[in-house]
Amino acid sequence: MIKYALKCSQGHEFDSWFASAASFDEQVARAQVSCPVCASPQVAKAIMAPALAHGDRIEAPSAEERARDRAALRALRHYVMGLTEDVGTRFPDEARKIAEGASEERPIRGQATREEAKALLDEGISILPLPLVPDDLN
């Protein structure tokens, strides 16, 4: 079965079910479909939004899963902090110097505004934000 949104020549809109797309075409060709408002047999498919199958619903992670994810983020931050030099707010300038070869190449971390980070990326300098664990902000 298939449901179509239909519209008659007078502009009335209505829905109807058909066994198949071919069945709709056959019935319209034989004038067996008519508008329920004005009885016009001049009916065509109207524009309609597709019906999408929802499938399985995504469930919120359990408390254990959230705790595991927070622990993994903390471990990642700890690992990165141990490998990098903190250059603080000098990060954008230092990243440019490293990219240009004016400063020794080494892993650094620091702070940059959104605009500074975008400028670095636009210049082709690869940077990556270090995720914060929401609990660490409290």
- CA angle, corner 103, sides to 101 and 107, nearest 5? 100
**What pLDDT is attached to residue 61?**
87
**What pLDDT is attached to residue 55?**
65
Give the predicted TM-score (pTM) of the model: 0.53
pLDDT above 70 for 138: no
Per-residue pLDDT reduced to its tens digit, 10-24: 999 998 999 888 989
Per-residue pLDDT reduced to its tens digit, 26-59: 999 999 999 888 989 999 998 876 666 666 677 8
Q: What is the mean pLDDT of residues 75-100?
A: 94
Residue 40 gets the label, from left (phi > 0), alpha (psi -120 to 50) or beta, of beta
Which helix (H) or strand (E) is 15 found in, with range?
strand 13-18
**What pLDDT is attached to residue 106?**
96
CA distance 59 to 62: 9
- CA angle, corner 53, sides to 51 and 56, nearest 5? 155
pLDDT above 80 for 133: no
Q: For residue 129, what pLDDT band results from cuts at 50, 70 and 90? A: confident
Length of the chain: 138
DSSP characters for 72-90? Answer: HHHHHHHHHHHHSEEEETT
92 or 66: which carries more pLDDT confidence?
92
DSSP 8-state symbol, 103: S
Contacts of 2 (CB under 8 A, 6+ apart): 17, 18, 19, 20, 21, 24
